[in-house]
């Protein structure tokens, strides 16, 4: 069986069993999983497993996996840790994947033996374990969710996380930024199914365009390396690492041993496989968004960036941020500067790069001036990426109203990009003062613009992180 | 033959191979080592066929960092070698170190001191390192790591990744070194048929330090192979 078919039951199960949902009015994680997935429109068969109740959450219950009467693709298990080994043993031949939410296993010293028991029971039973100590699976296409508030809209970002709680952040904060997921699986302790296997699944999944991984300890590191090495950058992979010390081996008997920290090994592995390493949750989401929205170029890795927007200091700081991430913000070629010079932009506008256009310049022609500027930038400047930034409160709080300059600026960018397809990656930075009018405007614009293939960021430094991640991947696949 | 070297060292209760044994392992994987001879205790060094200048090094499992105890003498002519070997013996007895002999080797051509090393990582398996600065590698911290097996592209990128790479390329009027030989040595240690993958279960850590690289050669002048725990 190919890898895609093998792991698909995790994300598109036809038959789901839920162990640990209360029939007596209590709300356990099991009840929540049933409720959220039904609200999501799960249309397969969902069977609560309950020792006595005839129904749970209005669904007919079974007393055991055996009583379900057909193969369970995915069992959601949230019961006390001590009951798990027996439950898994009883799942032999009746369950494909069992996700164990329960904690009290390998994450605490006294639970290690129990985790080993679960793993052995699973091997004997032929059941694959996800977890333990995790939160669930989120799959918009499979219509499953372990949390409320998650978007039902399917997307192209596949995520594997060794922390369930961080998985919640990734889903919710990510979707606010415009990310849409093909699936997210929380692996917890990864006692059986590990990140390497699910990376292979997402590599094979036609709905997944970019893969995100939050990793603390990859036990199958060697398989992970092999999978990515074989893939040769077929899809971008963005990694957020937790718990990597910069310390070498404590008992090292060699120079090499004292220098070989986890962080150093990951840095090397990134160079070998093209995975983009990130340092914070925000950077992780920002880079994922860039890969969701943009089409990486194999023939021309991103290097030369043109920055364009209002705010002198913002432009200077932005150039620093891009420069420190290995992206060029150098003056555009002469013909571009000359052509921009002929536009009769108002005094105070600098057209070299960054193009520092004060708000009064951006208001020229009710904002449509931006289209002419960007046309010249794309035509004569031939950049690899263009980042346009708008300081929203300056326009929102202005006494000059009546014309929606911000909308005109954004439309100008969209039209200019459409006239020069494939020339440059486009990113938009909508800067806010944190007050509600700016925040609301940013939310509305972000939602629309990301769908058109332009990632939107809060600050120029975020855009720099995101494009640096894209550039790293592009350099890798360019060879 | 290699498994025998490891078996003997284990049988003798060692935690690491001695330098001559470690160098035999390197040579078996095609890594250039200096020409030389091992001098047993009480035996006169025989230097026929070898050319000065020489390096003389103490062999003692009690001195894992022999330069720290004065167990390395460099740049000796043939006449000075016998005296240096006797001094090693005296040094060992003075410091209460087992004297297992001395290693007399031709000096490598002068060049840039690099380190090629390896560890067997619990998660990622064999991992390769290239570092700059010889015995000062930890002070500079100028290193590049890769998971094994590496390919030729990885070897070249590891060299490029060193901040000190210009030192290899003729900075400030120096002669450029032969980078292809560094890449070959990296592949011999970390490639698909290389030492780390081949001996993954025998060893825990490896230092080739220094690997002296010049316009003509990349020579493993010292080597340390720490045995895996069984």
Looking at beta carbons, which residues of chain A come within 8 Å of B125?
221-222, 225
Instruction: Say which of B115, B123, B146 has its CB closest to residue A268.
Output: B146
Q: Which residues have a Cβ under 8 Å from the Cβ of A436 and sit 6 or more positions away?
A: none
A468 to chain B nearest CA, in Å? 17
Same domain, A325 and A276: no
Residue A400: pLDDT above 80?
A: no
**DSSP sequence for A220-244:** THHHHHHHHHHHTTSS-EEEEE-S-
Say whether both A328 and A253 belong to one domain: no
Would A292 be classed as within a structural domain? no
pLDDT per residue as tens digits for the range B205-216: 999 999 999 999
The residue of chain A nearest to residue B116, with distances taken between CA atoms, is A256
Q: What is the pLDDT of residue B26?
A: 98
Q: Do residue B119 and residue A257 have CB atoms under 8 angstroms apart? A: yes
For the stretch A29-43, pLDDT in tens is 999 999 999 999 999
> How much is the average pLDDT of A12-25?
96
Beta carbons of A272 and B150 less than 8 Å apart:
yes
Whether residue B53 is preceded by a cis peptide bond, meaning omega within 30 degrees of 0, is yes
Contacts of B15 in chain A (CB under 8 A): 253
Residues whose CB is less than 8 angstroms from the CB of residue A156 and which lie 6 or more positions away in sequence, other chains included: A180, A182, A207, A208, A209, A210, A292
Would A478 be classed as within a structural domain? no
Query: What pLDDT does A457 receive?
Result: 98
Query: Considering only CB atoms, which residues of chain B are within 8 Å of chain A?
Result: 15-16, 64, 115, 117-119, 121, 123-125, 127, 129, 131, 135, 137-138, 141, 143-147, 150, 153-154, 157, 161, 204-207, 209, 224, 226
pLDDT number for residue A389:
97
Same domain, A182 and A47: yes
- Confidence category of residue A399, pLDDT binned at 50, 70, 90: low
Cα separation, B138 vs B125, whole angstroms: 22
Residue (of A413, A423, A415) closest to A455 by Cα position? A413
End position of a domain, from candidates A287, A317, A337: A287
Residue A62 placed within a domain: yes
* Distant-in-sequence, close-in-space partners of B1: CB < 8 Å, separation ≥ 6: B28
Considering the domain architecture, whether residues A249 and A323 belong to the same structural domain is answered as no
Integer CA distances (angstroms), A246 to A34, A274, A284, A478, B141, in order: 42, 21, 20, 30, 12
**How many of the other CB atoms lie within 10 Å of CB of A216?**
16
| pLDDT digit string, tens, across residues B138-182 | 899 999 999 999 999 999 999 999 999 999 998 888 899 999 999
- The verdict on A273 and A305 lying in the same domain is no
Task: Answer whether B146 sits within 8 Å of A271, measured CB to CB.
Answer: yes
Domain annotation for chain B: domains and CATH numbers: 35-107 (3.30.1490.20), 112-227 (3.30.470.20)
Q: How many CB pairs under 8 A join A and B?
A: 91
Distance, in Å, from the CA atom of A374 to the CA atom of B6, rounded to the nearest integer, reads: 67
Least confident of A305-314, A373-382, A417-426, B41-50: B41-50
Indicate if A432 and A346 belong to the same structural domain. Answer: yes
Query: Nearest by CB to A221, which of B64, B123, B206?
Result: B123
Chain B nearest-CA distance from A223, in A, is 8
In a domain, A473, yes or no: no
Q: Which domain holds residue A207?
A: 3-287
Q: What is the per-residue pLDDT across A186-238, written as a single tens digit (0 to 9) for each? A: 999 999 999 999 999 999 999 999 999 999 989 989 999 999 999 999 999 99
Angle of helix A460-478 relative to helix A262-273, nearest 10 degrees? 60
At residue A107, the pLDDT reads: 92
A325 shares its domain with A395: yes
d(CA A212, CA A433): 30
Of all residues in chain A, what percent carry a pLDDT higher than 70?
99
Residue A263 pLDDT greater than 80, yes or no: yes
A342–chain B Cβ distance below 8 A for any pair: no
Mean pLDDT of A106-114: 94
Nearest CA in chain A to B115: A256
A379 and A249 in a single domain? The answer is no
Is residue A182 assigned to a domain?
yes
Nearest to A264 among B15, B143, B224 (CB): B143
Pair (A340, A276) in one structural domain: no
Mutation choice for A interface testing from B67, B115, B121, B124 by most A CBs within 10 A:
B124
d(CA B107, CA B72): 12
Interchain proximity B153–A253, CB inside 8 Å: no
Q: Please, what is the average pLDDT of chain A? A: 95
Q: Are A318 and A459 in the same domain?
A: yes
Measured between CA atoms, the residue of chain A closest to residue B127 is: A265
A320 and A445 belong to one structural domain: yes
Q: How deeply is A424 buried, as exposed, middle or buried, from its count of CB atoms within 10 A (0-12, 13-18, 19+)? A: buried
Provide mean pLDDT across the span B91-111: 93
pTM, 2 dp:
0.95
Which tens digit of pLDDT belongs to each residue from A169-185?
999 999 999 999 999 99
* Last-in-domain residue among A251, A267, A287: A287
Shared domain check, A68 and A200: yes
pLDDT beyond 70 at B34: yes
Q: Chain B: nearest CA to A217, how far in angstroms? A: 8
Domain assignment present for A259: yes
Kind of pairing, strands A72-77 and A95-100?
parallel
A271 touches chain B (CB under 8 A): yes
Mean of the pLDDT values across residues A313-319?
96
Instruction: Examine residue A94 and state whether it is found in any structural domain, yes or no.
Output: yes
Cβ–Cβ of B119/A219 closer than 8 Å? no
- Name every chain A residue with its beta carbon within 8 A of the beta carbon of B135: 255
Q: Quick check: A27 and A105 in contact, CB under 8 A?
A: no
User: Domain of A138: which CATH number?
Assistant: 3.40.50.261
A267 touches chain B (CB under 8 A): yes
Whether A476 is in a domain gets the answer no
**Structurally, how many domains does chain A consist of?**
2
**Region A131-146 average pLDDT:** 96
**Residues 6+ positions from B24 with CB-CB distance below 8 Å:** B5
pLDDT, position A172: 98
Residues B162-166: contacts with CB within 8 Å, 24+ apart? B162/B130, B162/B131, B162/B132, B163/B132, B164/B132, B164/B133, B164/B140
C-alpha distances out from residue A477 to A158, A300, B12, B163, Å: 20, 10, 50, 23
Interface test with A, best of B138, B142, B145 (most A CBs within 10 A): B145
* Per-residue confidence (pLDDT) for residue B42, from 0 to 100: 84
Q: Residue B172: what pLDDT?
A: 83
Please answer yes or no on whether B226 and A253 come within 8 Å at the CB atom: yes
**A274: distance to nearest CA of chain B, Å?**
12
Q: How confident is the model at residue A160 (pLDDT cuts 50, 70, 90)?
A: very high
Considering CB atoms only, which of A254, A269, A272 is closest to B205?
A: A254
Of the residues A239, A265, A287, the one at which a domain ends:
A287
Nearest to B205 among A222, A256, A272 (CB): A256
Q: Which of A405, A339, A349, A407 is nearest to A378 (CA)?
A: A339
Candidate ranges A349-353, A386-390, B167-171; pick with highest mean pLDDT: A386-390
Let me know the angle formed at the C-alpha of B94 by B68 and A255, rounded to the nearest 5 degrees.
Answer: 20
The whole-number pLDDT of residue A244 equals 80
């Amino acid at each position: 069986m190919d890898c895609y078919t093998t792991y698909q039951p995790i994300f598109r199960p036809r038959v789901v069993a839920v162990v640990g949902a209360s029939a007596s009015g209590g709300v356990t994680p099991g009840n929540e999983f049933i409720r959220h997935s039904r609200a999501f429109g799960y249309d397969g068969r969902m069977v609560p497993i309950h020792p006595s109740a005839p129904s749970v959450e209005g669904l007919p219950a079974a007393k055991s996996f055996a009583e379900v009467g057909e193969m369970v693709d995915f069992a959601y298990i949230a019961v006390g840790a001590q009951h798990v080994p027996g439950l898994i043993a009883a799942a032999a031949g009746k369950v494909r994947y069992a996700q164990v939410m329960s904690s009290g296993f390998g994450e605490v010293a006294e639970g290690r033996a129990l985790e080993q028991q679960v793993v052995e029971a699973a091997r004997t039973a032929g059941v694959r374990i996800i977890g333990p100590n995790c939160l669930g699976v989120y799959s918009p296409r499979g219509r499953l969710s372990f949390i409320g508030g998650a978007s039902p809209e399917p997307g192209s970002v596949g995520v594997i996380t060794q922390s369930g709680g961080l998985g919640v952040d990734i889903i919710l904060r990510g979707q606010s930024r415009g990310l849409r997921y093909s699936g997210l699986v929380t692996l917890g302790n990864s006692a059986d199914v590990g990140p390497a296997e699910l990376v292979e699944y997402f590599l094979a999944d036609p709905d997944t365009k970019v893969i995100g991984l939050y990793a603390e300890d990859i036990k199958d590191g060697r398989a992970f390396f092999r999978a990515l090495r074989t893939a040769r950058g077929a899809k971008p992979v963005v990694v957020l690492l937790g718990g990597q010390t910069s310390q070498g081996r404590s008992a090292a008997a060699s120079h090499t041993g004292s220098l070989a920290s986890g962080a150093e090994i990951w840095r090397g592995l990134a160079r070998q496989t093209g995975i983009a390493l990130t340092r914070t949750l925000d950077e992780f989401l920002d880079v994922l968004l860039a890969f969701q929205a943009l089409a990486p170029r194999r023939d021309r890795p991103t290097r030369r960036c043109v920055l364009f927007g209002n705010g002198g200091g913002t432009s200077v700081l932005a150039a620093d941020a891009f420069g420190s991430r290995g992206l060029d913000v150098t003056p555009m070629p002469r013909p571009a500067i000359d052509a921009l010079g002929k536009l009769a932009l108002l005094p105070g506008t600098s057209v070299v790069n960054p193009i520092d256009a004060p708000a009064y310049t951006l208001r020229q022609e009710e904002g449509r001036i931006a289209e002419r500027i960007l046309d010249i930038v794309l035509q004569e400047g031939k950049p690899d990426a263009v980042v346009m930034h708008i300081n929203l409160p300056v326009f929102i709080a202005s006494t000059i109203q009546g014309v929606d300059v911000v909308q005109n600026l954004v439309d100008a960018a969209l039209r200019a990009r459409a006239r020069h397809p494939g020339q440059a990656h486009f990113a938009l930075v909508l800067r806010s003062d944190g007050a509600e009018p700016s925040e609301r405007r940013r939310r509305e614009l972000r939602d629309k613009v990301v769908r058109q293939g332009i990632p939107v960021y809060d600050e120029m430094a975020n855009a720099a992180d995101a494009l640096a991640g894209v550039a790293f991947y592009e350099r890798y696949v360019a060879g | 033959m290699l498994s025998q070297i490891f078996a003997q060292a284990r049988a003798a209760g060692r935690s690491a191979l001695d330098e001559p044994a470690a160098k035999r392992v390197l040579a078996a994987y095609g890594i250039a080592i200096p020409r030389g001879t091992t001098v047993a205790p009480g035996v006169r060094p025989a230097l026929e066929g070898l050319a000065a200048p020489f390096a003389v090094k103490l062999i003692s499992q009690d001195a894992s960092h022999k330069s720290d105890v004065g167990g390395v003498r460099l740049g000796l002519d043939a006449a000075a070698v016998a005296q240096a070997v006797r001094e090693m013996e005296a040094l060992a007895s003075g410091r209460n170190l087992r004297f297992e002999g001395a290693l007399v080797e031709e000096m490598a051509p002068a060049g840039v001191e690099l380190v090629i090393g390896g560890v067997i990582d619990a998660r990622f398996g064999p991992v390769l390192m290239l570092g700059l600065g010889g015995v000062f590698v930890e002070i500079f911290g100028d290193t590049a790591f890769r998971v094994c097996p590496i390919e030729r592209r990885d070897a070249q990128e590891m060299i490029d990744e060193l901040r000190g790479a210009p030192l290899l390329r003729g900075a400030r009027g120096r002669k450029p070194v032969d980078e292809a030989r560094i890449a070959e040595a990296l592949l011999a240690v970390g490639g698909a048929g290389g030492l780390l993958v081949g001996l993954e279960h025998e060893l825990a850590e490896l230092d080739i330090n220094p690997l002296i690289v010049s316009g003509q050669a990349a020579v493993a002048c010292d080597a340390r192979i720490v045995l895996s725990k069984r």
